[in-house]
């Protein structure tokens, strides 16, 4: 899994250095790879876009006014952790405009490199409502067959550019042999019915959002939504390979305890 994260970091750096990513758009389409549905403005106000020197890199979740949860590999490797090079956009479906663009004060990474979690402390509080963390003792999101959603500005192909606008896709938890799951809080999920991953490059760090009463056809949660995981480095060579699910990092149990200790959340 470290190799997958390293490949992702190289990909992000190459695209940033060669294209700058400014103004890149994406057309939405149905295929055997990545399927996404445009997000209604204001539906997920806690969704965050991490940005390195003005270029979008990953997703994240606002979990408190000054804290964003994301993945460690999104800034580890070729990209540096100098806070002055980073900002986070919150509250907009457009990764390049709207909402709030807030300076990063610091990164706090999980102390074990095999746990792909990181916290971003914002320099100023966000005015948008955060999403709740999954209770540390809630097993339901991690049981095979459990339904969730995720969202991001991911590309349509491994070497594509980030989407201009946020989209969401349905996910379903799988058995641990559907990816590299089963250890270090890693669980597997992808599109239902063996449809493969619904995520791609630049979706990393984005949330696995679970609600006890699930979601309607627009992706609106029917009960309180919780962030139950973050997307780790993609473990498939191409996005959306049928039968190949992604690695997700749990935010429950000891991982949720660590997040709460760092942020002061109850």
pLDDT digits (tens, 9 = 90+) for 20-33: 433 222 322 333 33
- For residues 232 and 5, the answer to whether their CB atoms sit within 8 Å is yes
Distances (CA, A) of 160 to 95, 104, 200, 248: 16, 26, 9, 22
Q: What is the pLDDT of residues 89-148, one digit of tens each?
A: 999 999 999 999 999 999 999 999 999 999 999 999 999 999 999 999 999 999 999 999
- Both 124 and 188 in a single domain? no
- Both 195 and 249 in a single domain? yes
User: How high is the pLDDT of residue 28?
Assistant: 28
User: How high is the pLDDT of residue 193?
Assistant: 84
State how beta strands 226-231 and 132-133 pair: parallel
Q: Is there a domain that residue 26 lies in?
A: no
Q: Is there a domain that residue 220 lies in?
A: yes
State how beta strands 86-90 and 67-70 pair: unpaired
Q: What is the pLDDT of residues 181-205, one digit of tens each?
A: 999 999 999 988 888 888 888 999 9
Q: Is there a domain that residue 30 lies in?
A: no
Looking at the 3D structure of the chain, how many domains does it have? 2
Given a cut of 50, is residue 234 above it in pLDDT?
A: yes
User: How high is the pLDDT of residue 20?
Assistant: 40
CATH code of the domain covering residue 52: 2.40.10.10
Q: Is there a domain that residue 118 lies in?
A: yes
Q: Is there a domain that residue 27 lies in?
A: no
Q: How confident is the model at residue 63 (pLDDT cuts 50, 70, 90)?
A: very high
Predicted structure pTM score:
0.88
Residue that wins the pLDDT comparison between 46 and 9: 46
In angstroms, the CA 114 to CA 107 distance is: 17
User: How high is the pLDDT of residue 115?
Assistant: 96
Q: Is there a domain that residue 206 lies in?
A: yes
- Both 48 and 111 in a single domain? yes
Q: How confident is the model at residue 79 (pLDDT cuts 50, 70, 90)?
A: low
- For residues 160 and 218, the answer to whether their CB atoms sit within 8 Å is no
Percent of the chain with pLDDT over 70: 84
- Both 170 and 126 in a single domain? no
User: Domain range for residue 59?
Assistant: 2-18+44-130+257-263
Q: Which two tokens stand for residue 213?
A: 């009463």
User: How high is the pLDDT of residue 201?
Assistant: 86
Lowest average pLDDT, out of 29-38, 65-74, 152-161, goes to 29-38
- Both 90 and 182 in a single domain? no
- Mean pLDDT in residue range 253-265: 98
Q: Is there a domain that residue 241 lies in?
A: yes
- Both 233 and 201 in a single domain? yes
- Both 213 and 123 in a single domain? no
- Both 110 and 190 in a single domain? no
In angstroms, the CA 134 to CA 13 distance is: 32
- Both 228 and 243 in a single domain? yes
User: How high is the pLDDT of residue 81?
Assistant: 75
Q: Which phi and psi angles does 102 have, rounded to 5°?
A: -115, 140
- Both 60 and 162 in a single domain? no
């Amino acid at each position: 899994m470290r190799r997958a994260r390293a490949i992702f970091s190289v990909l992000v750096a190459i695209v940033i250095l060669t294209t700058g990513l400014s103004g890149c758009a994406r057309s939405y389409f149905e295929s055997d790879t990545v399927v996404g549905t445009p997000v209604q403005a204001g539906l997920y106000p806690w969704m965050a876009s991490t940005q390195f020197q003005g270029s979008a890199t990953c997703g994240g979740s606002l979990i408190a006014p000054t804290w964003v949860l994301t993945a460690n590999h999104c800034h580890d490797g070729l990209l540096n952790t100098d806070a002055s090079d980073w900002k986070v956009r919150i509250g907009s479906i457009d990764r390049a405009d709207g909402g709030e663009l807030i300076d990063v004060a610091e990164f706090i990474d999980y102390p074990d490199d095999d746990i792909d979690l990181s916290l971003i402390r914002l320099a100023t509080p966000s005015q948008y409502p955060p999403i709740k963390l999954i209770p540390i003792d809630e097993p339901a999101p991690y049981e095979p067959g459990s339904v969730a959603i995720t969202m991001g500005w991911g590309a349509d192909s491994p070497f594509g550019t980030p989407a201009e606008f946020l989209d969401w896709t349905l996910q379903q938890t799988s058995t641990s042999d559907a990816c590299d799951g089963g250890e270090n809080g890693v669980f597997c999920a992808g599109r239902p019915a063996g449809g493969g991953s619904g995520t791609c490059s630049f979706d990393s760090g984005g949330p696995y959002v679970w609600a006890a009463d699930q979601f309607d056809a627009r992706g609106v949660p029917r009960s309180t939504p919780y962030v139950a995981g973050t997307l780790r480095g993609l473990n498939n060579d191409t996005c959306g390979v049928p039968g190949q699910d992604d690695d997700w990092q749990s935010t429950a149990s000891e991982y949720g305890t660590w997040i709460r200790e760092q942020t002061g959340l109850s």
